């Protein structure tokens, strides 16, 4: 079937006197990507102009043509898109740097991860319409961080009482602790994660409490700056950022702006999702300080430009349901977000809580065990490997 489609692509190019040949390709969960090597005198725009003809020849609803280096990529949507399972993807990872979140599978079939402490990352803005999968992506990222970092430092470590160097933190470097803070103004996004042991406090759904927590983070940032410390890392996930900004008003904008401007050096990172990342809604300073943009399905090319910060990304043609582009350092990476079901999330969170409480999960709550694939397993926080094995089927 793939060879037949490759022949059809070459036939269309030849028929329109745009010579080129298919040199390879890859099958991803959502697309089949063919790599086309054009002749030296072939204009790339000529191949782009044949997207409709290529779609018709391949009996596909649409066909995306893009340049990747010296190669032209022809993407054909699969009739039945696959799902990128979060837990199977995690099992295939090996050595992963600290404070690195899992996003999903890139369009070349490789796992896509993002390291928050990187100077080119620091904070992430996720945008997309309802149904794009942005809230599910935030849950995936939070879980992937929780799985790789212990939580001993969370005990007695409320947001209002942050210390630069928690007395309870006596861990080896490979078990570096992490603090999570989840802000969910609508009260629906993070309910499955309410039991994570890394949470500094229960999931915040009240705007007044969110403002108090953000103010405490600003004070923590200032104390850490004076002390020259950045541990343990604090990652703040915010769903519906625009809603928080509109209800919280000037206080929310001022505190968020300070955190995105100076938070990275203090080990504080923000990952926020919104439907409309415009300057009118979020304010210019907040919008300008998210170096990485992750964009799902949007309505128009204008919305795509506002969300991505650059034009020509094609985000308005994304399929939704986890189909994203990541924009970083001026480069665009398309990927399918990893997905974990609510039931898998519940079992995983319960297993993590039981592991860190020194208890064994009830057999009825966590079923089945799975061996790691050949080779060394991912470097998870101490005690996390067993918890993960207990919930992966």
Question: Would the pLDDT of 246 be above 50?
Answer: yes
What sections of 237-393 are H helices per DSSP?
241-262, 279-282, 284-288, 301-308, 342-356, 384-391
For 249-272, write each residue's pLDDT tens digit.
889 989 999 999 899 999 999 999
For 166-214, write each residue's pLDDT tens digit.
333 333 333 457 889 999 988 888 988 888 888 888 899 999 999 999 9
Tokens of 342: 């609510």
Mean pLDDT along residues 89-95: 78
Name the band, by pLDDT with cuts 50, 70 and 90, for residue 239: very high
What sections of 37-129 are H helices per DSSP?
44-48, 51-57, 86-91
Question: Would the pLDDT of 305 be above 90?
Answer: no
DSSP run (H or E) holding 223 = helix 207-227
What CA–CA distance (Å, rounded) separates 8 from 13? 9
Mean pLDDT along residues 80-103: 82
Instruction: Return mean pLDDT, the chain.
Output: 77
207-234 burial, b if ≥16 CB within 10 A, otherwise e?
Answer: beebbbbbbbbbebbeebeeeeebbbbb
| Those residues with Cβ within 8 angstroms of residue 298's Cβ, 6 or more apart along the chain or in another chain | 127, 128, 129, 132, 304, 307, 315, 316, 318
Q: What pLDDT sits at residue 294?
A: 92
Q: What pLDDT sits at residue 28?
A: 75
User: Facing residues of 366 across strands?
Assistant: none
Mean pLDDT along residues 65-87: 79
Name the band, by pLDDT with cuts 50, 70 and 90, for residue 131: confident
More confident residue, 221 or 61: 221
For the chain, give every domain's residue range. Answer: 2-77, 94-342
For 3-18, write each residue's pLDDT tens digit.
878 878 888 888 888 8
Say whether 94-342 and 2-77 share the same fold.
no
Q: Is 3.40.50.300 the CATH number for 94-342?
A: yes
Q: Is 3.30.980.40 the CATH number for 2-77?
A: yes
Query: How many of the other CB atoms lie within 10 Å of CB of 245?
Result: 21
Q: What pLDDT sits at residue 235?
A: 94
Per the listing, tokens 């100077």 go with: 119
| Those residues with Cβ within 8 angstroms of residue 25's Cβ, 6 or more apart along the chain or in another chain | 2, 6, 32, 33, 34, 35
Per the listing, tokens 């893009």 go with: 66
Assess whether the previous peptide bond of 232 is cis (omega < 30° from 0): yes
* % residues pLDDT > 90 (the chain): 16
Question: Would the pLDDT of 158 be above 80?
Answer: no
């Amino acid at each position: 079937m793939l060879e037949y489609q490759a022949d059809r692509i070459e036939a269309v190019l030849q028929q329109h006197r745009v010579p080129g040949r298919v040199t390879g390709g890859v099958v991803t969960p959502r697309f089949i990507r063919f790599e086309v090597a054009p002749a030296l005198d072939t204009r790339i725009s000529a191949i782009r102009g044949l997207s409709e003809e290529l779609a018709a020849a391949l009996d596909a609803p649409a066909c995306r043509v893009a340049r990747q280096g010296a190669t032209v990529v022809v993407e054909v949507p699969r009739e039945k898109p696959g799902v990128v399972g979060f837990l199977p993807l995690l099992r295939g990872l090996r050595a992963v740097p600290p404070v690195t979140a899992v996003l999903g599978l890139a369009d070349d079939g490789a796992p896509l991860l993002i390291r928050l402490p990187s100077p080119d990352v620091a904070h992430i803005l996720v945008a997309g319409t309802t149904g794009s999968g942005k809230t599910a992506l935030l849950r995936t990222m939070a879980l992937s961080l929780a799985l790789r970092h212990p939580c001993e430092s969370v005990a007695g470590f409320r947001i209002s009482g942050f210390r630069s160097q928690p007395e309870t933190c006596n861990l080896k470097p490979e078990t570096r602790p992490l603090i999570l803070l989840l802000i969910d103004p609508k009260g629906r996004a993070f309910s499955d994660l309410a039991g994570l042991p890394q949470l500094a406090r229960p999931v915040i759904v009240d705007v007044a409490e969110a403002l108090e927590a953000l103010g405490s983070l600003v004070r923590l940032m200032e104390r850490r700056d004076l002390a020259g410390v950045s541990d343990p890392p604090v990652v703040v996930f915010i769903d519906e950022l625009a809603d928080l900004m509109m209800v919280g008003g000037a206080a929310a904008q001022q505190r968020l702006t300070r955190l995105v401007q100076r938070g990275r050096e203090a080990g504080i990172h923000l990952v926020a999702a919104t439907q409309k990342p415009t300057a009118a809604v979020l304010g210019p300073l907040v919008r300008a300080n998210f170096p990485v943009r992750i964009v799902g399905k949007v309505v128009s090319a204008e919305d795509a430009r506002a969300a991505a910060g650059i034009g020509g990304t094609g985000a308005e043609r994304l399929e939704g349901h986890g189909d994203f582009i990541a924009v970083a350092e001026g480069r665009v990476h398309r990927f399918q977000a990893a997905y974990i079901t609510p039931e898998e999330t519940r079992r995983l969170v319960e297993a993590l809580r039981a592991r860190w409480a020194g208890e064994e999960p009830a057999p009825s709550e966590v079923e089945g065990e799975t061996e790691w694939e050949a080779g060394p397993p991912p470097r998870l926080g101490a005690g996390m490997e067993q918890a993960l094995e207990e919930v992966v089927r």
